[in-house]
Structure 1
């Protein structure tokens, strides 16, 4: 019997993080630890252990409690290989070399545990968006895996004034500063606006990655959109 399944054979790579395909990330643990979105494991081989990562400190725990931002993470350790995905979204790899990027929390899939992370507020957001707009910053050396709901576009911020929907802007580089832009024309006040009256503004030297969506709708229920049994086991 002929089969075409051979095209789906496991990818071989010397890198710890490698794309199995556009929607599936393969991580070779080789004795080191990564942090990944809670419930994102779809398969693994070998000796692999999962545990809830927590907030990593009182400051970040308080920020998560107040803002609702900051992805629920799990620590993944062992000597095997783990495959990660989330709702068949596209996966993109960024390798940091002492650099900093900012990521919209739901779009963060996994990163090397040596990379430091924190929760930061978008400048100018608090007065107009009910408590502020917050995202996760990551800085250090290692791989970061980012999710996008469809193929994104990479915009050069230095080339022109750049604006994006807050949910569509999924990550941007450390040389970029952000602020909020509002359109308060009279037509917006009387119900005839475009629906795009608040945007994020980007400026500086660097880039911003924008997905062709304002994010996937999260299913209601105790397991969320992709927690599954593993999310329950780890306390997600």
Structure 2
């Protein structure tokens, strides 16, 4: 499956004047505070200090803002070792200053969450921005190295603060209940409640049918009580070994 989203078809409506276009697409101050959704795919950060953002997500800014990529030791020795094992990491930069910062990620839909002493685990590729006061750490699933090459890393958030995550198109949340486990494709899994501890498993029949290199032969298995969020799109960053 291609990792490139389908192109957006051109508008079939009548042409509009330049004045109307500028007025329709103009940035608007909605008074929503630190994080404002300008559109479903543009996030405005009303910066007054520092913000953690995904590397490459800045598309524009107004004011006095400087950007610094996260240092290799900024998350501590434990997270450094997890980066080394996975070949991946939480690719962060710090935006510091005062002004309006506009973020986006390949046209993906943006969801702003306000965590209130709660725990959430998010696929590292789907984290767009979060307050520096929100504690986070890189987590890796058990038996990961035996299943995957290239790595699948997640970021666990515990506490209170604003968090912006992304999804290709509209996400869906599935409830996980005792006796009713949920199985998902890792490439379509965005986030899950922090009390769940998903396991990786292989489907032998799928592995045989699709080939050893198919990500669809590897699945995430959730059991207990909580929820898991999936998107209607497979981002190809996780593949089985031996393909």
Question: Do the two structures share a fold, i.e. TM-score over 0.5?
Answer: yes
**CA 1:79–1:191: 2 relative to 1, 3 Å:** closer
- Using the TM superposition, give the Cα deviation of residue 192 of structure 1 relative to its aligned residue in structure 2, in angstroms: 7.8
CA distance in 1, matches of 2:186, 2:146: 15
- Please state if 1:117 is matched with 2:117: no
- Please state if 1:210 is matched with 2:198: no
- Please state if 1:23 is matched with 2:21: no
Contact 1:158 1:206 survives alignment (8 Å): yes
Map 1:179-198 → 2, pairs under 5 A: 179-185=199-205, 188-189=207-208, 196-198=216-218
CA distance in 1, matches of 2:139, 2:37: 29
Bigger CA drift: 101-110 or 126-135? 126-135
Task: Specify every segment of 5 or more residues in structure 1 that has no aligned partner in the other structure, as ranges.
Answer: 218-236
Equivalence for 1:136: 155
- Using the TM superposition, give the Cα deviation of residue 14 of structure 1 relative to its aligned residue in structure 2, in angstroms: 3.2
Map 1:55-66 → 2, pairs under 5 A: 55=72, 56=74, 57-66=76-85
- Using the TM superposition, give the Cα deviation of residue 88 of structure 1 relative to its aligned residue in structure 2, in angstroms: 0.9
Contact 1:104 1:167 survives alignment (8 Å): no
How high is the TM-score relative to the length of structure 2?
A: 0.79
Q: 1:147 aligned to 166, 171, 178, which one?
A: 166
- Using the TM superposition, give the Cα deviation of residue 182 of structure 1 relative to its aligned residue in structure 2, in angstroms: 2.1
Contact 2:193 2:226 survives alignment (8 Å): yes
User: After the TM superposition, which segments of 4 or more aligned residues of structure 1 sit over 6 Å from their partners?
Assistant: 190-193
- How many pairs does the alignment contain? 214
How high is the TM-score relative to the length of structure 1?
A: 0.81
Q: 2:55 aligned to 38, 45, 48, which one?
A: 38
Q: 1:13 aligned to 31, 45, 69, which one?
A: 31
- The superposition leaves residues 71-111 of structure 1 with CA deviations (integer Å, 9 ceiling, x where unpaired) of 21110121211000111111111111121211111111111
